[in-house]
Amino acid sequence: MGIADASWRPSVEVGVVRPARGFVDVVFDRARPPDILATEVQSRLDRFEQLIRWSQDKARSLPSSDLWPVVAAGAAVHRLLVIRSTAATREVARRFEATLRVAYPVRAASASGDKSQLSDRA
């Protein structure tokens, strides 16, 4: 069983150049409804606030990627954070639960099938 529903098309290591320069780990896109998930995958959470800012910057930079012209027109861009489950990352998630809820308001399970669950706030 895959992590994402079959309606999502993945693109790995999507380069962006402006305003932020870097790579989005995985970009999932789908045509109906038109949505894009800029996904960051992390094993550790050493600099939590920096990670949130950097993922926001890279998601905002997706229009500068080569992928942008081929994704669904008018797609909403959302962010997804995938964190390796370890005692350390679970502790950070518990300690900063409120921050995580604001930065990533939609549960990751929403990408696995229910097309109505993504929020424009993501």
Nearest to 78, CA basis, from 43, 42, 116, 104? 104
Record the pTM. 0.84
Cβ neighbours, 10 Å, residue 122:
19
Tell me the percentage of the chain whose pLDDT exceeds 70: 85
| pLDDT band per the 50, 70, 90 thresholds, residue 112 | low
Alpha carbons 65 and 19: distance in angstroms, whole number: 11
- Residue-wise pLDDT for 17-28, tens only, equals 999 999 999 999
| pLDDT band per the 50, 70, 90 thresholds, residue 55 | very high
